[in-house]
Amino acid sequence: MSAEIDFYELLEVERTADDKTIKSAFRKLAMRYHPDKNPGDQDAEAKFKQINEAYGCLSDPQKRAAYDRFGHAAFQQGGPGGPGGGAGFGDGNFSDLGDIFETIFGGFGGGGRQPARRGADLRYDLEISLEEAFHGKNTEISVEISQACEPCAGSGATPGTATRRCNMCGGQGKVRAQQGFFMVERTCPTCGGRGEVIEKPCKHCHGEGRVDKPQRLEVEVPPGVDNGTRIRLAGKGEAGPFGAPPGDLYIFLHVARHKVFERDGTTLLTRAPISFTTAALGGSIELPGLDGAKHVIEIPAGIQSGKQLRKRGAGMPVLQGRGAGDLVIEIHVETPTRLSTRQRELLREFQETETGEECPQSKGFFERIRDAWNDLTE
């Protein structure tokens, strides 16, 4: 790469320029010096190559970080070679770009062998009733989970034997390969990044360091949970390979449908049919709540179907909080379908005394119908 002209000067931007500014400057200059617009102009062609070289570096975050710290020498095989005799390189003993990145970022893989991979998180679906969601519950579940192999203590090696250093990577867990100007690192294909190789795999786990076993776990369901509430059991997931830490187990709750109540957040909803006499004269009804108490609901005289009555604090408890929602009762007036002879007589007597004022909505409706009809016939 060229070491004569600063990349930022080439692109005519400040060293603090963001990616968008750098990209915009590159496009502008590339159009100006493109060989197609400057046929036969060798200076323009050389400038075009320098611009592409500068943008290729500054558009890549890692390359830009290396360039900002070490200048052009960051991309030279022989160490410092940029202007100023490699100033800012320390002792200047960088044999390749991989060494430079390792100094800046701790290496592609963080330096040394790769850390042990944590075990996977697991999911368990648990169905509970609405009453259990209201009160909370402690329950026990059984789930088959990968656990550390006991005979080999999770090492994957036959008890009494040891692992050896991987010959492919020399125990580093990664290997390097030269690709042009760059030294590329990748996980060692022989040891999978561990830096060690098992000579004699454990017969119980076949060298995995973990086996599947049924496990019984206690789950505490707090009051107020809802569909989709997630409970985390830390460290109860799948065991990590070769003694690595386990993942977590997540319990997803599903609340079963209830025969009487529906739920909307902390609000409990139910529909209560009442007789037309109760609706006309008023009265009260009793509803058993999920809290075990009997809630008396007062019915005002003249209530209509669809009217909602509210009992404060008789709904679902607030999850991990204080207080509770409300119980909402939607009233539906039921018309009697089975009347005795005496009841029919009484209703006819009542009908004979009706003036229309008893049901103002009905009266108003039919008056509007009559007026509309008269308008049509006039």
Which residues define the annotated binding site? 149, 152, 166, 169, 188, 191, 202, 205
User: Can you tell me whether residue 37 is helix, strand or coil?
Assistant: coil
- Beta-carbon contacts of 61 under 8 Å, excluding residues fewer than 6 positions away, are none
User: Can you tell me whether residue 60 is helix, strand or coil?
Assistant: coil
What is the enclosing helix (H) or strand (E) of 8?
Answer: helix 7-11
Cα distances from 326 to residues 165, 196, 263, 311, in angstroms, run 66, 62, 10, 6
Q: Within 10 Å of residue 253's Cβ, how many Cβ atoms? A: 19
Counting every residue written for the chain, the total comes to 378
What is the enclosing helix (H) or strand (E) of 221?
Answer: strand 210-221
Token match 């004022």: residue? 357
Q: Considering all CA atoms of the chain, what is the largest pairwise distance in Å, rounded to the nearest integer?
A: 117
CB contact at 8 A, 108 and 96? no
CB contact at 8 A, 48 and 30? yes
Which residues make beta-bridge pairs with 141? 217
CB contact at 8 A, 128 and 255? yes
What is the enclosing helix (H) or strand (E) of 105?
Answer: helix 97-105
**Binding site for Zn(2+): what residues are annotated?**
149, 152, 166, 169, 188, 191, 202, 205
Distance of CA 321 to the CA centre of its chain: 23
CB contact at 8 A, 195 and 109? no
Token match 């209560």: residue? 272
Q: Which residues of 362-376 are buried (b: 16+ CB within 10 A; e: fewer)?
A: eeeeeeeeeeeeeee
CB contact at 8 A, 130 and 260? no
CB contact at 8 A, 107 and 117? no
